């Protein structure tokens, strides 16, 4: 059977080429990023803010962030770079929304699992050092097995639903819950030892 | 530790860990794809093609319609997408209110999130075009009433259901004897309300709606196959119009309905996830079902989280109240016990709850919305914070209206948004708010802070709460350094 207009089928561009477009200040970079990663980035934002309108704005800000950051940045893995931007933007919006008592998102559910040692949504303490905490959490994640690293990142970094993680790893939901419980226990120990929990 | 501190700490996670996670995720997805079998290989092409179809068909429609979305088409600037905040432009009238049942089977259904699959017969193709109330993109669908003949994957399935077909895929479905429908996801509970665009009315659907949609485009070619009375693959579906073009490349890979069914049955992934019917909700959470009963007190639009269409069916749903086709700041959420891991289903209401008195004292938001839309299109509505038109260029603008319950009763709010770029491609947003009160025929401009004050403890849904500068609002996000 003849496939009509086959030449019009569009294939996502390689990441290297997209990054190159950013460096050339070519507006097509944003179009290609949107074409290739919109669904993925939308799902990251949606897990956190749980509102389509907010997600659209998060994506707009993500593309703008990428545009402003490249150059000088030249990310090794574009998708990871965009993930980081989207998460930061979405988290910021999430905390703004939380102040207004909006309906909880998947992020709220994921945070509630950590309520043994993560609670309250007040402003940051004056002596709080996010980078130091980031290093402690990074060390902790590196200490986990490959599988638990993936589960930790899925659940607490991008707030993926447990069913999604189970589906990704072809494991049962109860197995993921057990793994998460073990991760939380170890995490609490780590944060206590580093003086983050009083 | 505070939640915000935890999240800020995570924001500074080593980039190598994020990269590793993304690569792991990608590998898992690739592995997942390989398992789908040869006949699914062209899904990506279908997706690409459909995006193009969307771009060619939908974008011009958005630009041409009267929804209030304005595009200047400035080709010298990056084409960053902006919100298509569209709602039905005229106030829908309500009808429906049929009995809520119509479903059968019941109980808990166990399905594969990537593909509840059935063999089905067409009962009726509804003639009208539908959109979802809470879909900002206003994607248009036809509804096929289907009768389940055989469940291919999953443990239980309703006898009849609606299947969503994007309008661009619509054809004469009655000429086919049977369909094999793969990769179905439950899109909404029974009793959900969609906007019947053909008739300009809200309509309650008495069957569960299934579909396969990922944020505006579909992979229909791999999800719907038609067969004739002899069980032979009927290629006329895939050749019926241009939207199916990517599917036609696979036409030779399936010859009979038996073969298609076997392909699906041999794929045994993900068997431990759940889809619920409204009647499965129990305990205290069951009370919300009375509250969200459509047409009793406005229209509630109950839906699963949209993630059901992307990764997996979440056993939770949220219902936003709509009045006259406009959203409100009233929302209800239900989390089923299978989702939370708790002992019973739970629920939450917003503080905003529209009472009968509120409903009898609604401001004339539809008129206000139309007025502001006209003013925006004529250029007489201007961004309030932006004060340097020489240096910035407007790219897009949008308009969105909703009813909000406040300390002083219900007001109608219209929000207009603008997006600008500087010569250096810095990006700015600005927005303006207008309110109309009950009994008034004036839609007044109101500053954001006064609006938040007016709302008091009620939900400030859809309102920007960050800082403004001389241009409007500008993101102060710290971008990652490489």
Percent of chain A with pLDDT over 70: 86
Question: Quick check: A1 and B252 CB within 8 A?
Answer: yes
Give me the sign of the Cα torsion angle B245, B251, B257, B259: negative
Q: Judge: B1–A38 Cβ closer than 8 Å, yes or no.
A: no
- The encoded tokens of residue A53 equal 């309108």
Measured between CA atoms, the residue of chain A closest to residue B329 is A102
A47-51, A75-79, B369-373, B432-436: the lowest-pLDDT one: A47-51
- Average pLDDT of chain B? 70
Of B30, B89, B284, B43, give the one whose Cα is nearest residue B182: B43
Element (H, E) at B357: helix B356-360
> Which of A100-104, B18-22, B129-133, B315-319 shows the lowest per-residue confidence on average (mean pLDDT)?
A100-104
Distance CA B245, CA B190 (A): 32
pLDDT at B68 over 60: no
Contacts of A16 (CB under 8 A, 6+ apart): none
Distance between CA atoms of B47 and B116, rounded to whole angstroms? 20
Select from A77, A96, A117 the Cβ nearest to the Cβ of B23: A77
Mutate to test the interface with A, among B8, B87, B318 (most CBs of A within 10 A): B8
Chain A residue whose CA is closest to B273: A163
* A192 has a pLDDT exceeding 60: yes
**Residue contact B462–A169, C-beta within 8 A:** no
Mean pLDDT of B104-119: 46
Q: Work out the pLDDT band at B460, boundaries 50, 70, 90.
A: confident
B14 neighbourhood in chain A, CB within 8 Å:
134-135, 138
For B340, the 3-state DSSP assignment is helix
pLDDT for B264: 80
pLDDT tens digits, one per residue of B337-358: 766 666 777 888 889 988 888 9
Contacts of A105 in chain B (CB under 8 A): none
Q: What is the 3-state secondary structure (H, E, C) of B169-210?
A: HCCCHHHCCEEEEEEEEEEECCCCEEEECCCCEEEECCCCEE
Cβ atoms B372, B431 nearer than 8 A: no
Cβ distance of A42 and B215 shorter than 8 Å: yes
The beta-carbon neighbor of B480 closest among A34, A84, A164 is: A84
* Percentage, residues of chain A above pLDDT 90: 15
Question: Average pLDDT in the B48-76 region?
Answer: 31
Instruction: State the nearest Cα–Cα gap between A155 and chain B, in angstroms.
Output: 12
Rounded to two decimals, the ipTM of the complex is 0.80
List chain B residues with CB under 8 Å of A171.
Answer: none
Among B111, B117, B179, CA closest to B145: B179
Q: Give the H or E element holding residue A87.
A: helix A78-99
Q: What is the mean pLDDT of residues B77-82?
A: 26
Across the range B260-282, mean pLDDT stands at 66
Name the phi and psi angles at B144, rounded to 5: -105, 120
What is the model's pLDDT at position B403? 93
Interface-testing mutation among B14, B16, B22, B347, with chain A (most A C-beta atoms within 10 A) = B22
* B195 within 8 A of B92, measured Cβ to Cβ: yes
Collapse the DSSP code of A52 into the 3-class scheme (helix H, G, I; strand E, B; otherwise coil) and give the result. helix
Residue B270 has its nearest CB partner, among A46, A73, A167, at A167
Q: Give the three-state DSSP class for B433.
A: strand
* Candidate from A63-77, A169-183, B98-112, B208-222 with smallest mean pLDDT: B98-112
Note the pTM of the prediction, 2 decimals. Answer: 0.51
Give the pLDDT score at A21: 92
Q: What is the pLDDT of residue B263?
A: 80
How would you classify residue B73: left for phi > 0, otherwise alpha for psi between -120 and 50, otherwise beta? Answer: left
Q: Classify residue B282 by burial, with Cβ atoms within 10 Å: 0-12, 13-18, 19+.
A: exposed
Task: Name the strand (E) or helix (H) holding B211.
Answer: strand B209-211
CB contact under 8 A, A9 and B307: no
Confidence (pLDDT) at B252: 53
pLDDT of residue B127: 94
SS3 content of chain A, % helix, strand, coil (to 5): 70, 0, 30
pLDDT of residue A114: 80
- B367 close to A (CB below 8 A): no
Kindly state the percentage of chain B with pLDDT values over 90: 16
pLDDT at A35: 84
In Å, what is the CA distance from B26 to each residue of A40, A80, A157, A158, B282? 11, 11, 16, 14, 38
Residues 154-213 of B with CB under 8 A from A: none
Q: Copy the structure tokens of residue B376.
A: 């925006």
Whether the per-residue pLDDT at B383 is higher than 60: the answer is yes
Q: Are B347 and B288 in contact (CB under 8 A)?
A: yes
User: pLDDT at position B145, please?
Assistant: 96
pLDDT at B52: 37
What average pLDDT score do residues B31-35 get?
50
Measured between CB atoms, which of A46, A142, A158 is closest to B306?
A: A46
pLDDT at B180: 92
Inter-chain residue contact A84 with B340, CB threshold 8 Å: no
Q: Report CA B447 to chain centroid distance, whole Å.
A: 30
Residues of A in contact with B135 (CB under 8 A): 52
Question: What is the model's pLDDT at position B468?
Answer: 77
Nearest CA in chain B to A102: B459
- Summarised one tens digit per residue, pLDDT across range B142-187 is 999 999 999 887 767 788 999 988 888 899 999 999 999 887 777 7
Which comes out higher in pLDDT, residue A195 or B404?
B404
**Cα→Cα distances B120→A22, B71, B141, B255, B266, Å:** 48, 43, 19, 17, 19
């Amino acid at each position: 059977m003849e496939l009509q207009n086959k030449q019009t089928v569009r294939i996502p561009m390689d990441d290297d080429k997209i990054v190159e477009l950013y460096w050339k200040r070519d507006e097509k970079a944003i179009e290609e990023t949107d074409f290739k990663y919109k669904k993925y980035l939308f799902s990251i934002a949606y897990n956190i803010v749980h509102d389509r309108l907010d997600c659209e704005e998060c994506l707009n800000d993500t593309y703008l962030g990428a545009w402003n950051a490249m150059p000088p940045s030249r990310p090794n893995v574009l998708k990871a770079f965009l993930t980081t931007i989207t998460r930061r933007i979405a988290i910021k919006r999430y905390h703004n929304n939380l102040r207004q008592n909006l309906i909880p998102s998947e992020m709220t559910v994921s945070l509630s699992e950590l309520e043994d040692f993560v609670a309250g949504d007040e402003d940051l303490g004056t002596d709080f050092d996010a980078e130091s905490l980031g290093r402690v959490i990074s060390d902790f994640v590196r200490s986990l097995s490959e599988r638990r690293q993936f589960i930790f990142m899925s659940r607490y970094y991008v707030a993926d639903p447990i069913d999604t993680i189970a589906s990704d790893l072809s494991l049962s939901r109860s197995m993921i819950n057990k793994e998460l419980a073990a991760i939380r226990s170890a995490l609490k120990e780590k944060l206590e030892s580093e003086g983050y929990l009083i | 530790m505070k939640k915000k501190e935890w999240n800020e700490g995570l924001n500074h996670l080593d980039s190598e860990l994020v990269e590793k996670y993304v690569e792991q995720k990608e590998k898992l997805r690739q592995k997942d794809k390989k398992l789908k079998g040869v006949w699914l290989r062209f899904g990506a092409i279908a997706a690409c093609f459909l995006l193009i179809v969307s771009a060619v068909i939908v974008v011009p429609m958005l630009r041409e319609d009267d929804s209030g979305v304005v595009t200047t088409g400035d080709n010298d600037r990056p084409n960053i997408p902006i919100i298509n905040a569209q709602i039905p432009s005229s106030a829908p009238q309500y009808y429906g209110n049929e009995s809520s049942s119509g479903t059968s089977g019941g109980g808990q259904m166990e399905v594969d999130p990537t593909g509840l699959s059935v063999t089905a017969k067409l009962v009726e193709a509804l003639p009208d075009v539908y959109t979802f109330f809470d879909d900002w993109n206003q994607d248009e669908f036809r509804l096929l009433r289907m009768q389940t003949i055989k469940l291919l994957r999953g443990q239980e399935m309703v006898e009849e259901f609606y299947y969503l077909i994007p309008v661009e895929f619509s054809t004469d479905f009655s000429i086919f004897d049977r369909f094999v429908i793969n990769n179905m996801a439950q899109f909404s509970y029974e009793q959900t309300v969609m906007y019947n665009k053909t008739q300009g009315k809200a309509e309650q659907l008495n069957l569960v709606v299934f579909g396969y949609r990922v944020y505006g485009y579909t992979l229909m070619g791999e999800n719907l196959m038609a067969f004739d009375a002899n069980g032979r693959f009927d290629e006329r579906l895939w050749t019926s119009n241009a939207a199916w073009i990517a599917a036609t490349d696979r036409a030779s890979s399936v010859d009979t309905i038996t073969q298609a069914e076997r392909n699906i049955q041999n794929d045994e992934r993900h068997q431990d996830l759940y889809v619920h019917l409204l009647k499965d909700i129990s305990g205290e959470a069951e009370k919300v079902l009375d509250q969200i009963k459509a047409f009793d007190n406005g229209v509630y639009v109950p839906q699963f989280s949209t993630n059901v269409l992307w990764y997996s069916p979440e056993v939770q749903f949220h219902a936003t109240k709509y009045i006259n086709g406009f959203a409100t700041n009233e929302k209800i959420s239900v989390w089923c016990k299978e989702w939370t891991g708790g002992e019973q289903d739970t629920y939450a209401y917003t503080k905003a709850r529209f009472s009968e008195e509120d409903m009898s004292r609604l401001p004339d938001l539809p008129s206000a919305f139309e007025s502001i839309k006209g003013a925006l299109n004529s250029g007489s509505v201007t961004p309030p914070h932006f004060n340097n038109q020489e240096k910035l260029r407007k790219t897009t603008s949008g308009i969105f209206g909703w009813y909000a319950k406040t300390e002083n009763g219900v007001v109608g709010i219209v929000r207009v948004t603008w997006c600008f770029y500087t010569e250096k491609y810095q990006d700015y947003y600005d927005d303006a708010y207008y309110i109309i009160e009950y009994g008034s025929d004036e839609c007044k401009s109101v500053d954001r802070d006064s609006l938040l004050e007016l709302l008091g403890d009620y939900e400030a849904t859809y309102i920007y709460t960050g800082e403004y500068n001389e241009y409007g609002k500008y993101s102060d996000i710290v971008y990652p350094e490489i």
